[in-house]
Amino acid sequence: MSQHALYLDFEFCTGCHSCEIACRNELGLPPDGFGIKVLEDRPRMNPDGKWNWNYIAYPTELCNLCEQRTEKGLLPACVQTCQAKVLEYGTIEECAAKLADKGSKATIFVP
């Protein structure tokens, strides 16, 4: 079986922090524990006058890609709860295909 990964379209990650708490609930972590963490590249203006302001939700060392959920056919907790629906789950190959489709401002994580 191919290894699994998380795909993130960070053009539209809104930085809402929902994934952090859903993950915490799923893994039974304390309030200061993170299986996924939202990082912010704070806003600044590019030379062309456009804005650079991005959030990246990245899986930490505690992430197990929600094996206990996926084996029951459920989505990982962070993917299910993502309000912008920019986190997706699949095999590395499936995620790579999404990346190629998107073509910009996206990434894949293998925790």
Return residues touching another protein (CB under 8 A).
9, 11-12, 14-18, 20-22, 24-26, 31-32, 42-45, 50-53, 55, 75, 77, 80-86
Paired sense of beta strands 4-9 and 87-91, if any: antiparallel
- Give min distance, CB of 27 to another protein, in A: 11
- Give min distance, CB of 35 to another protein, in A: 13
What is d(CA 12, CA 9) in angstroms, rounded to the nearest whole number? 6
The residue among 41 and 93 lying less far from another protein, judged by its C-beta, is 41
If we measure between CA atoms, which residue out of 78, 81, 47 comes closest to residue 65? Answer: 78
The residue among 85 and 110 lying less far from another protein, judged by its C-beta, is 85
Calculate the CA dihedral of residues 100, 96, 11, 80 and round it to 10 degrees. 140
Tokens at 32, concatenated: 């200061």
The residue among 45 and 110 lying less far from another protein, judged by its C-beta, is 45
The residue among 74 and 110 lying less far from another protein, judged by its C-beta, is 74
